[in-house]
Amino acid sequence: MQRARRSACRLAVDCTGTLRPFGALQPDTDGGIMIGQVYIRELEGARLVGLSHRGPYDTLEDTFARLFSFIEERVLWGQVKAVAAVGYDDVRVTAPDQLRAHACVVVADDFPREAPLEELRYPSARYAVMEVSGDYSQLSKAYHRLLEDWLPASGEARRDICPYEVYLNSPEAVEPGELRTEIRLALI
């Protein structure tokens, strides 16, 4: 199922101008998703504002639609840097109706926050960044590979904050198999 997400995206830039790959992960061909290498990048802090969601992750598109309506009504799209989401629960152990998430946009500090928007802050830090190509419904596989395979083998330690995902293109512009998502995991 495609999600109605705007393509207001901004790629993360490594402040040092270099990318450091850590271990090539092989593409997951069984699920139709391509999971790329993990890179360590120094990223600036990010301010996310959005709406909370409870329920199956594949219904997050409804929360995004409400968020986009809110932004459109206030003519704020020009202040949006990227579209993002934060998922808090593992789909393998949490009942679908109990899954928690935020549908978000990445914005500058002067973006107005008013109810019902909630704010999430991510620090300037080193991040493990994984780019994934494929349908959003398969993203949980990428999270498992990042958190259960790459992280323990890397010698890195994560911060006590959930990873977030940034959408690099839009389901309105490309087929589900061509969707690109960047998963960002803050490191200590």
pLDDT, tens digit (0-9, with 9 covering 90-100), for 128-149? 999 999 999 889 999 999 999 9
Work out the pLDDT band at 31, boundaries 50, 70, 90.
Answer: low
For 62, the token pair is 């409804």
Work out the pLDDT band at 185, boundaries 50, 70, 90.
Answer: very high
CATH of the domain at 108: 3.20.80.10
pLDDT, tens digit (0-9, with 9 covering 90-100), for 68-112? 999 999 999 999 999 999 999 999 999 999 999 999 999 999 999
pTM exceeds cut of 0.75? yes
Q: What is the DSSP letter of 32?
A: T
Is position 26 within any domain? Answer: yes
pLDDT of residue 35: 87
Is position 32 within any domain? Answer: yes
148, amino acid identity: E
pLDDT, tens digit (0-9, with 9 covering 90-100), for 8-29? 222 222 233 333 444 444 555 5
Please give the tally of structural domains in the chain.
Answer: 1
* Phi, psi for residue 119 in degrees, rounded to 5: -110, 140
Letter string b/e over residues 77-97, b meaning 16 or more CB atoms within 10 A of that residue's CB: eeebbbbbbbbebebeeeeee
pLDDT, tens digit (0-9, with 9 covering 90-100), for 117-127? 999 999 999 99
| Cα 176 from chain centre | 16
For 47, the token pair is 């301010």
Is position 174 within any domain? Answer: yes
Residue 25 to residues 21, 36, 53, 98, 119, Cα–Cα distance (Å): 10, 6, 31, 31, 33
